[in-house]
Structure 1
């Protein structure tokens, strides 16, 4: 399901938009398969056994909150409390594959004086936004250089 309005990830890992321009902005990459299905996280083979044919940048799609929760007992280095949401992406007309869902943190509300997250409710429209650190790299048992600490959070669409 290549959306002609969406950015596509090229082999070099940068984004190439439909005008051929590239950017260093990270992609929220899902996999597209020969049978037209899309999955997140990406897998080498699709749910029906189809071969992977490309990627879809989920930043180009709105999502709706399926459910959410707030955790008050978080792992080391993860903000506390930590609001998480399961969201379902709207893949557009003609997509008849299984729902494309993701689990992620809810973004911090810049207008909240206490640094809290946005309020979300089931059915709210959200968009993915990149965060440089989803957790503090020095906390926990992993070496900071052993993995990437960035990722995507969800914020409400106004």
Structure 2
């Protein structure tokens, strides 16, 4: 995996893409206070350290204000020590397909905070996109 993000920042500056592990071994992303077995999480796992597989993807051409157009979205599945966990998010490109391997890359700005009608500070969103593994 690359040690730089698509925003040009060192990976260690990026926040964790945090999933929760529960006593039964299951994982959820995002984390929840109560897992599938009804118990609280016992640890967190940083998914940004893993490669995922594209389960499905789509491209939206009618996006909310400030979101790039076209907006490529993917559902991906990580394999963390034999336990699957899925995430949904933007893809860095529309050149992906089902079964492709992708890696999470941190992006400081997933939408332009000045484009909407709300207070710009309330529209600042960072997060991860999924980039094809080369």
Q: Distance in 2 between matches of 1:48 and 1:144?
A: 40
1:132 aligns with 2:108: yes
Q: Structure 2: where are the runs of 5+ without partners?
A: 1-11
Q: Which has the higher contact order (CA 8 A, sep 6+)?
A: 2
1:74 aligns with 2:50: no
User: In structure 1, what is the equivalent of residue 5 of structure 2?
Assistant: none
In the TM superposition, 1:6-25 aligns within 5 A as 23-25=12-14
The number of equivalent residue pairs is: 123
Structure 1 residue 118, shift from structure 2 partner = 5.0
Partner deviation per Cα, 1:129-151 (whole Å, 9 max, x = no partner): 00010011112233222254100
Once the two structures are overlaid, the 10-residue window that deviates more, 135-144 or 68-77, is 135-144
If the length of structure 1 is used for normalisation, what is the TM-score?
0.72
Q: Distance in 2 between matches of 1:47 and 1:148?
A: 31
Alpha carbons 1:118, 1:155 under 8 Å: kept:
no
User: In structure 1, what is the equivalent of residue 54 of structure 2?
Assistant: 65
Structure 1 residue 32, shift from structure 2 partner = 1.3
Q: Distance in 2 between matches of 1:91 and 1:148?
A: 30
User: In structure 1, what is the equivalent of residue 77 of structure 2?
Assistant: 88
- Root-mean-square deviation over aligned CA pairs: 1.5
If the length of structure 2 is used for normalisation, what is the TM-score?
0.84
Q: Distance in 1 between matches of 2:85 and 2:130?
A: 15
User: In structure 2, what is the equivalent of residue 104 of structure 1?
Assistant: 89
- Work out which of the two has the higher radius of gyration on C-alpha atoms and give 1 or 2: 1
Aligned CA distance change for structure 1 residues 148 and 46 (closer, same or farther; 3 Å): farther
Q: Runs ≥4 in structure 1, deviation > 3 angstroms?
A: none
